[in-house]
A and B are shown apart, each in its own frame.
Chain A
Amino acid sequence: MNYDAIEISIPFYEITPSTSQVLQAMGYPPESDNLQLKDSIEERINEAKLHVSATAGFKIIAPLDFIISKNQFSIAGVEFDSKKIITSQIRKADTIAIFTASLGSAFDQWSKKVQSENILDGYIIDTIGSETVELAADVIEEKINQVVTGEDYFCSSRFSPGYCEWSVAEQHKLFSFLPKNFCGISLTESALMNPIKSVSGIIGIGLNVKKLDYHCRICTQENCYKKKHLV
C-alpha cells in the first residue's frame, strides 16, 4: 500500500450535479416542476464549470501508526475522540484513509459576488457548490475503494468530523497528518475549512471492514439533518 498523500484534480463534468438534485437540496419534492428555478439552475450549472476547480485527495495512514479502541482511535500517538458511533463502524479497521475535497477559492468568490447582486441566484450557486463538492467526495471515496480493493482490503463508509458526535474541532489534529495546504484547504482557528466548499473525513480500511448503515438512531446529535431525515 502507498502511504503518501495523493491529490487529484477532478474535471467538472465528472461531478456536475443534476438540476433535480439541486432542486431537492433546496427542499423541493422530486416531482416539482418550477420552471423559473429549473432554468436558472441549469444556467448556473453551465456557468459553474468556469469557477469550479475541484481537487480531492487522500492519505492512507501506515497501519503501524494506527490504534483503535472502543470510543477513540489514534494516529502516531495523537488521540481522536471520534466517539463510539464512528469507532464501532471502523472497529475492525487496520488503518484509515484521511480524505478531503474542495471546489477551490474561485468558486467561493463567484458565489459571494452573485449573492451580493442577486440573492436567489446566489442561493442557487451556493447549493450547486454544496452538491458538487459532495460529488467530489464521492469520487475520492471511490478512488480509495479502488486502491484498497486492489490490495484485497475493504473500506468502511466515510465519516466526517462534525457528524456522529465527532467534534469539528478535531479537524486540526486530522489535518496535521496531511501536507500543508492539501487540496488548497486551510483551517481557521475555529476549524472551519477555507474555501467554504470543502469537506473532510476518514474511511476505515481493513481485511475485515464492512460498509454498514449509519447509526443515526443511537446518535445524540439532535440537530443533525441526517437524523431529521429519518423521521
Chain B
Amino acid sequence: MEQILQKISEYVEIGKAEKNSPYPSDLKGIDGASELTLQALEMGIKPNTILNDALLIGMRRIGEKFSSGKAFIPNLLISAKAMNAALEHLKPFFESGEAVFKGKIILGTVKGDLHDIGKNLVKMVMKGEGWEVVDIGVDVSSEKFIDALKSHPGAIVGLSALLTTTMMNMENIVHSVKEYDSSTKIFVGGAPLSRQFCDKIGADGYFPDPHSFAKSFHAN
C-alpha cells in the first residue's frame, strides 16, 4: 500500500496524469496518477487516505518547489491536472461523504475587471489542493457574491483584480459581504494588491500566489 501511495504522489508531483499522457516522455504508456488511483481503490485503500497520503503530498511537494523558486505556475498546473484526473475517481466518495473536501471557495474577478487568468489559476490550484471551487466569473458585483454565498453557505470568498482602479471595487464588495455575514472569510489577490491594502479594506488575507494561499490552510 505504501508503495502505490508513494507512486501516486510522485506522479502528481511530476504531472504524470494518465497512461497516455505524452509527458514526461520516458513514462509514456505507463500507468499514471489516474490509473494508480483506481488500482488503489480496488486494493481497498480508503479514498481519504489516497487524498491525504498520496495526492495532496504530491501537490505539497511541487508547492514547496514553487515557493523556493525551483518550479513555476505551469508546474503547479501540470500537477493540479494530474491531481484532478485522479480526483475524478474519488468523486463518488466526495458525494457519499467518504472523502471530504478541504473546504469550499467562491472565486470571482471583481466588478469592473475582466481579467480572468489569475482567478482561473487560483481555481485550478485550489481544486488540486482538494477544495471545492465555485467560479462566478469576471466583473462580479457584491450582489452576485452574496447570491453565491446564499447558495453555498459557509464558503470562503476569493476576490481577484489586476488594476488599481478595479482593486478599489474590492472594498465595497468586502463591506457588503461582511454586512451580509460577518463571519465570512474574504481573501484577496492580483498583481497590484498588497497586504496593506488588504488590511485597509478589512479583508482577511492577501496572498501573492495560489500556492501560498492554499498553504495557509494546511494544518502544519
B117 contacts A120, C-beta separation under 8 Å:
no
A27 contacts B73, C-beta separation under 8 Å:
yes
A188 at the interface (CB under 8 A from B): yes
B180 at the interface (CB under 8 A from A): no
What B residues does A162 contact at CB under 8 A? 163-164
A192 contacts B117, C-beta separation under 8 Å:
no
B112 contacts A119, C-beta separation under 8 Å:
no
**Which A187-225 residues sit within 8 Å CB-CB of chain B?**
188-192, 194, 196, 222-223, 225
B45 at the interface (CB under 8 A from A): no
B191 contacts A223, C-beta separation under 8 Å:
yes
B117 contacts A37, C-beta separation under 8 Å:
no
B117 contacts A26, C-beta separation under 8 Å:
no
When C-beta atoms are compared, the residue in chain A nearest to B72 turns out to be: A27
Assembly CA distance A168 to B22 (angstroms)? 43
Q: List 29 A-B contacts (CB under 8 A).
A: A26-B73, A27-B72, A34-B74, A35-B25, A36-B15, A36-B78, A37-B74, A115-B117, A119-B77, A119-B81, A119-B121, A119-B123, A120-B78, A120-B81, A122-B117, A122-B120, A123-B77, A123-B121, A162-B164, A169-B165, A188-B112, A188-B114, A190-B166, A191-B163, A192-B114, A192-B163, A222-B194, A223-B193, A225-B191
**Chain A 109-120 near chain B by CB (<8 Å), digits 1 or 0:** 001100100011
Task: Output the least CB separation between B194 and chain A (Å).
Answer: 5
Assembly CA distance A26 to B123 (angstroms)? 18
Partner-B contacts on A (CB < 8 A): 26-28, 34-37, 111-112, 115, 119-120, 122-124, 126, 162, 167-169, 188-192, 194, 196, 222-223, 225
Assembly CA distance A35 to B23 (angstroms)? 9
A123 contacts B194, C-beta separation under 8 Å:
no
Task: Output the least CB separation between B41 and chain A (Å).
Answer: 26
B163 contacts A168, C-beta separation under 8 Å:
yes
What B residues does A169 contact at CB under 8 A? 165
